Structure 1
Amino acid sequence: MTYQYTYFIDRTLGKSIGEALQEIGVKIEFHHAHFAPDAPDTEWLPIVSQRGWIVLTKDVNIGRNILEVQQIARYQAQVFVLVSGNLPRQTMINIFVETIDKIERITQDN
């Protein structure tokens, strides 16, 4: 499959998940390449959204913080959250690799 979108790997996921997705041809941008390690989500969400990047994260609090929710709504960010974020790293890699095609289809439909 050819992947149409660029995916932003936030700091909670780390490098290995993004690298695994790159290996199958997914375009990836890493948090650390664009923002300080402690940059608040409210700082990078507008920028990432305006660039059309799709956010991949395991930060379940991103949907609970009112300022972050407002940023997501205002900039129409597309965010996919792995809600079982305490899984072993390899399990998380497998989940994203196995579901990226579905994420791509959902993104195309919205």
Structure 2
Amino acid sequence: MPVLFTDRDLGKKFPEILRDAGLTVERHADHFAPDCADEIWLAEVGKRGWIAVTHDGRIRYKPNELAAVIQHCVPLLVVIGHAPYPQLAHAFVATWPRIRSFIERHEPPYIAKVYRPAPSAATDDAAAPGRVELWYPKVDSYRQRSVLAAGAAGKIG
């Protein structure tokens, strides 16, 4: 069973709901200080082979954080949607079979978006799954990783 690491931005209830559903979850608060820089915890998540789960869709646009995802081969899932965290967590659990299939088919590093089900599907079936989409593809070559890392460090521009 993969280990999910929930970012601090998902609070306490989100990981509790995932654990209650039988998923293995490590919380940010159990391993890092609240003000720990994202690139620090991303490096550790990659080192431990965990799957990072966040609600921060801006990670893709922050060079230092994107570089950490790539350099440390992090599989990163971004929960998409504006809803209370318990609602997002229940949608994540309902989508888990699709998420797991996605994880099995994709080698990190990557960033994928996890969506809730469409409102019409959720109305018809409370356990309707959402979808998972690759957002930032794997960087395949060492050169690409080096260039991105240098850019994140401000060495090229």
**Normalised by the size of structure 2, how large is the TM-score?**
0.65
Q: Report the residue type matching 1:90 in the other structure.
A: P
**Partner residue in 2 for 1:40:** 37
1:98 aligns with 2:94: yes
Tell me, yes or no, if the aligned pair for 1:58 and 1:83 is still in contact at 8 Å. yes
Question: Structure 1: which 4+ aligned runs deviate by more than 3 Å?
Answer: none
**Unaligned segments of structure 2, at least 5 residues:** 107-157
Aligned-residue RMSD, C-alpha? 1.0
Flag the structure with higher strand content: 2
**Partner of residue 107, structure 1:** 103
Unmatched 5+ stretches in structure 1: none
- Percentage identity across paired residues of the two chains: 32
CA displacement at 1:42 relative to structure 2: 0.7
Mapping for residues 6-85 of structure 1, pairs under 5 Å: 6-84=3-81
Instruction: Report the 3-state secondary structure (helix = DSSP H, G, I; strand = E; otherwise coil) of the residue aligned with 1:73.
Output: helix
Q: Distance in 2 between matches of 1:93 and 1:80?
A: 13
Distance 1:38 1:101 in 2: 33
Length, aligned pairs only: 106
CA contact (8 A) 1:8 1:55 kept: yes
Larger Rg: 2
